[in-house]
Amino acid sequence: MPEQQQVFIAGGTTTPFDYPVNLQIEELVANTIRQLYDDIPNFHLKDVREDGMVVYSHFSVHFAHQLTSYWILHDHLGLVGVPHFRIDNGGNTGGSALYAAYALVRAGLADVVPVIGYELMGSVSQSKGSEFIAIASDTRYEAMLGANYTNYYAGLARIFMEEYGLTEEDFAEIAVKNKNNAIATGEKAQHYRKVGKKLTVDDVMGSRLISYPLKKWDCCFMSEGAATILVTNEKYAKQYSPDHYVEITGAGLSSCTIRAGDRYAFPGWTERYGEGYPGLGEFAACRHSAEVAYKMAGINWKDSHKQIDVAEVHDAFSTSEFQIYNALGWCESTTPKQFIRDKMPMMDGEIPTNPGGGLIGYGHPVGATGLMSAIECYYQLTGLVPREHKSTDNEVKDAEVGLVNSHAGTGTSISNFILKRV
Amino acid sequence: MTKLHPTPNNNDFDWEDWKKLSKLIPEKGWVWQNFRAGSAADGSDWVEQQIYYDMLYTFRLGALSPYAKGLMNGKLMGTKCPKCGDVTFPPRVNCWNLDCKLEITDWVEMPMTGILHTFTICGFAAKSALKKLPFVLAYVLVGESKTAIANILKIDKPWHTETNMPVVVKFANEEDRVGNIIDFWFEPDPEWSPSPMNAEKERIEKLCEPVYEWVRILNR
Ligand SMILES: [Zn+2]
């Protein structure tokens, strides 16, 4: 019988995230594996053939009009015979794929699991692309209105703003932080590739209205790219990256309603957290999955921000990053307003968040996104930032404990992981 | 016997009529369109091929049919659990309380009034809705519903939208209704008047100016 084992991350890399790109999925993914061969001389796909499985992380089949596109990849990588499956869980596809790999290694069913995420979205016009993403909403009630996810998120942000007395500028600070962190991340980050310069709060405030309170620079942009991360047991972690591996000490996954309006008084939440929670302003699935991950990792909810040194979270919008701070318990000992005004998530704050740039700065090719967040967090905890970013401007020195967050729908599926330097 | 949603016999439906309706929009499937090729500055080749693919969906509403029929008749049909009494709109045809063990809910007619819980002013949206910009997307608690429903709030000056404002339901003309959420929208309760302009309202008004201008150009 397989025995439970500890789970580690032994390596990872992404392609540059951009839009559109002139690439096929197999070359994108092959590039990530070849990069890993370069970074980790002891790594070999033959180990996966002998002791592993592959989890593919891919969101939408609509963009390629191709079902099971990971079959093309698996075949291309020469892995015929190796067990494989694909995870799709909306924007939390990457986090959920990581969770699946974690579960496989934890259970002892596999010792080395590459999680391979990818998304090509440039095959259709941008507006058609947004429409394809919006069909992850309940199309019977929502998509026909002509609204898309940005509009739904903006509605959730507006009540959050009112409840905590926040301003557009508070959100703009987050957008600017992530855009500017991405400049230090360099050529893999979409903001570096497309814009290449730092932005200011005034730039955000002056950009065009997308959906109040969101303006153009508060939002991530459509992106394409791939990411591969190696989830392993202790033996392979030591064999591959003796000086650069982290342990996944906590993993949580939770879910919420598909239509945001249905969580106003959902019995499952009111029984757990009391009347009035989450309403429409809070991400209950984020809170719940964080509580699970924190408990596993021995982190206290109320002072979690003091026990985490660095975080990579799912900032599809500046507003949702703020809602995530609150759902992660970081504002428990202060207020959301004070949390941002004390610059806690900034590079020199108490809990630097999205130093890699996040979705707003690095990009959001859906299936690859959550993996990118995990990989950036892994770099921070293993001292690989100077090698990977060729800069130390967004390095969190001596970080020991990191948080990775991946987020879907209007908060419909959310995962949180705690990574610890070994 | 546990009550289940009925599975009617296929023979009970008039499928022929649907086939005739579908023929009005003939499907073509994969249709070759265009290609172009070239080389990038770094010497790498590129080729683009455009293929058109169309599809016509027929969605069958099953247990949700009373909701759609209600819309056609100018009524909002929600559901109520006979066990716990929870009312929801949009409807849920089985109760959401785990203790009710998926009890099949009863249909109830909802009042045509609600309270706006939260909102956004859209300056950009899906292609089909661009010419309506800027419009308000509102989450509204209709009647005693324990869930909020998202729909458009039609209001002269979008920046006057306020949380907790009372709204009323308005339906499209009978001949225009299709049994879908687009059959109705919200408007401010005629008794309601907005609070005076404030900093946020002024800011939103300013953000909307270029949107109005852009839509004017779009409509030309
Ligand atoms: Zn019930």
In the reported structure, the alpha carbon of residue B114 is separated from the centroid of ligand 1 by a whole-number distance in angstroms of 22
Cα–Cα distance measured from residue A31 to residue A224, given in angstroms and rounded to the nearest whole number: 14
CA-to-CA separations, B104 to A161, A220, A295, B63, B70, in angstroms, rounded: 38, 41, 37, 10, 18
A265 CA: distance to closest CA in chain B (Å): 6
Residue by residue, pLDDT tens for chain B (220 residues) are: 789 998 887 777 777 887 788 888 888 889 999 999 999 999 999 999 999 999 888 888 999 999 999 999 999 999 999 999 999 999 999 999 999 999 999 999 999 999 999 999 999 988 888 999 999 999 999 999 999 999 999 999 999 999 999 999 999 999 999 999 999 999 999 999 999 999 999 999 999 999 999 999 998 8
Three-class secondary structure assignment of A367-402: HHHHHHHHHHHHHHHHCCHHHHHCCCCCCCCCCCEE
Kindly state the average pLDDT of the residues A221-246.
98
Nearest to A142 among B64, B123, B150 (CB): B150
State the ipTM, two decimals.
0.94
Residue range A266-281, pLDDT digits in tens? 999 999 999 999 999 9
Q: How far is CA A64 from the centre of its chain?
A: 23
Q: Which two tokens stand for residue A56?
A: 């593919």
Cα–Cα distance measured from residue A95 to residue A109, given in angstroms and rounded to the nearest whole number: 19
- Give the per-residue pLDDT at A144: 86
In the reported structure, the alpha carbon of residue A115 is separated from the centroid of ligand 1 by a whole-number distance in angstroms of 41
B196 CA: distance to closest CA in chain A (Å): 17
Q: Which two tokens stand for residue A418?
A: 């705690």
| A262 chain-B contacts, CB cut-off 8 A | 88, 90, 147-148
Q: Is B19 exposed, middle or buried (0-12, 13-18, 19+ CB in 10 A)?
A: exposed
The answer to whether the CB atoms of B126 and A266 lie below 8 A apart is: no
Interface test with B, best of A21, A145, A215 (most B CBs within 10 A): A145
pTM exceeds 0.95: yes
Closest CA to A25 of A69, A90, A80: A69
Cα–Cα distance measured from residue B172 to residue A196, given in angstroms and rounded to the nearest whole number: 49
**3-class secondary structure, A311:** strand
Q: Is A146 on the interface with B (CB under 8 A)?
A: yes
The pLDDT > 70 percentage for chain A reads: 100
| B150 chain-A contacts, CB cut-off 8 A | 141-142, 145, 147, 152, 155, 259-261
The answer to whether the CB atoms of A147 and B127 lie below 8 A apart is: no
Cα–Cα distance measured from residue B81 to residue B102, given in angstroms and rounded to the nearest whole number: 9
A residues 213-252 near B, CB within 8 Å?
A: 213-215
The answer to whether the CB atoms of B150 and A141 lie below 8 A apart is: yes
Closest CA to A152 of A160, A142, A139, A164: A142
